[in-house]
Amino acid sequence: MKTALRLTACALAMGFAASAEAQDHDHGAMDHAAMGHEMPAEAGEEIAEAVPAGASTGSGTALLPANESMRGLHLPTGDWMVMAHGFVSGQYTDHSGPRGDDKAYVTSMLMVTGERETSFGRVLLKSMLSLEPAMDARGYPNLFATGETARGAPLIDRQHPHDLFMELAARVDFDLGGDDKLFLYGGPVGEPALGPSAFMMRGSARYNPEPPITHHWFDSTHITYGVVTAGYSSPLFQLEASAFRGAEPDEHRWGIETPKLDSWSVRATLSPSPAWTLQASYGQIEQPEELHPGEDEHRVTASAHYNDGKGFAAMLAFSNKDRVPGGSLSAWQAEANWDIDDRNTLFGRFENVANDEFFPDHADPLHDQVFRVSKFQLGYARRLPLGPFELALGGSAALYAKPAALDAAYGDTPWGYTVFARFILGR
């Protein structure tokens, strides 16, 4: 354990030496996949799968297509195989209209995992950290995004920072013969079996610099204080159930909040081929939002993930959250990432969401009214390999469609753009 802590501290210093924050945050996109037991000898080489041949590991215990993989820095340490992966990304974003804003900010993430084979299966220790709490609690502009708080007020048209501890968890796999396994996963900070893999871990969002405006419909539980998951996995499918804390992280992001297990979820994932993964999940979340005490959420999600293994990855997803008491709000999301060659990437995302949180003032006539908005985003990244590192330079532009009733707040035709320079450890 002391060795793992020293490795984490070392990797933190290495991964964040460049992270003199320019004041704010992003949920930057990153391709995160399996950490396997057949580790490559060279830093930066592709890491083999640590799960059955039919799938690859995403965030928490979520699965992605087996064709999806991550490269990282391999640190041999005796019986343990340790891998580090992360990024530091400088970004500038600007959004139009009365509620639009602009900001320069820096995002960061470091993942360190340690894996060991045993006589009964495998032990995997997982940590993920970020220095984004150093930015202002209001995060950075993200038009039509809602969720969480800053200085006691709801965040609207903003994206909150990540917490320092994004994951501190362990997974133990018990071999049943062949590729069949029973597994236990959990820790003080983790992700329950609910929704698709978090957006920064999907190949379909690998270089996208903007978090989805539907984040709090699909993967808002990717940082949860207190998680226990049990499941069964085979090359074809995985079944799992979780108990976890329903409350979203508060705005004090340097520490670890008190874990509890007051909510639950179940998820089924089908991996019919190395190119495809399909998941469906359901969760009952107790009082997720700090400013809505007494309001629970029943969430349903379904998603299809595709990766051809040649540079193209895509996802199509649906979610519906039924608030108790309250109404239902649904969301759609489609995204893709296409590595045209070994230097150039195109990416994009379409979102459509019903949201009633744009006007928190109870005196406003539009308070609690549901508005369905859409976001159309396209982007480009130029990738420059630097040994085990990669520098990605690029940007994206977005247009929004919304009801005319929102013109006074957002303008007739709102738009926005983001440019970025991302230094990645592990290509």
pTM of the predicted model as reported, rounded to 2 decimal places: 0.86
Tokens representing residue 343 in the block: 């230097």
Q: What is the DSSP letter of 363?
A: T
How many angstroms separate the CA atoms of 330 and 342, rounded? Answer: 37
How many angstroms separate the CA atoms of 381 and 418, rounded? Answer: 12
Average pLDDT over residues 391-397: 98
- Is the distance from CB of 418 to CB of 87 less than 8 angstroms? no
pLDDT 10s digits, 60-82: 999 999 999 767 788 878 889 99
pLDDT 10s digits, 193-251: 999 999 988 999 999 999 999 999 999 999 999 999 999 999 999 999 999 999 999 99
In this prediction, residue 78 carries a pLDDT of: 84
pLDDT 10s digits, 265-322: 999 999 999 999 999 999 999 999 998 899 999 999 999 999 999 999 999 999 999 9
Residues 364-378 as b or e (16 or more Cβ within 10 Å = b): eeeeeeebebebebe
- Is the distance from CB of 160 to CB of 154 less than 8 angstroms? no
How many angstroms separate the CA atoms of 23 and 16, rounded? Answer: 15
Q: To the nearest whole number, what is the mean pLDDT of the chain?
A: 88
88 strand-pairing partners: 108, 423
In this prediction, residue 53 carries a pLDDT of: 54
Cα–Cα distance list, 168 to 27, 57, 179, 231, 340 (Å): 18, 16, 26, 19, 36
CB atoms within 10 A of CB 180: 14
pLDDT at residue 405 tops 50: yes
Lowest-pLDDT choice from 48-52, 207-211, 219-223, 352-356 = 48-52
Burial of 205 (0-12, 13-18, 19+ CB in 10 A): buried
- Is the distance from CB of 60 to CB of 222 less than 8 angstroms? yes
SS3 annotation, 117-128 = ECCCEEEEEEEE
Instruction: Tally the residues of the chain.
Output: 427
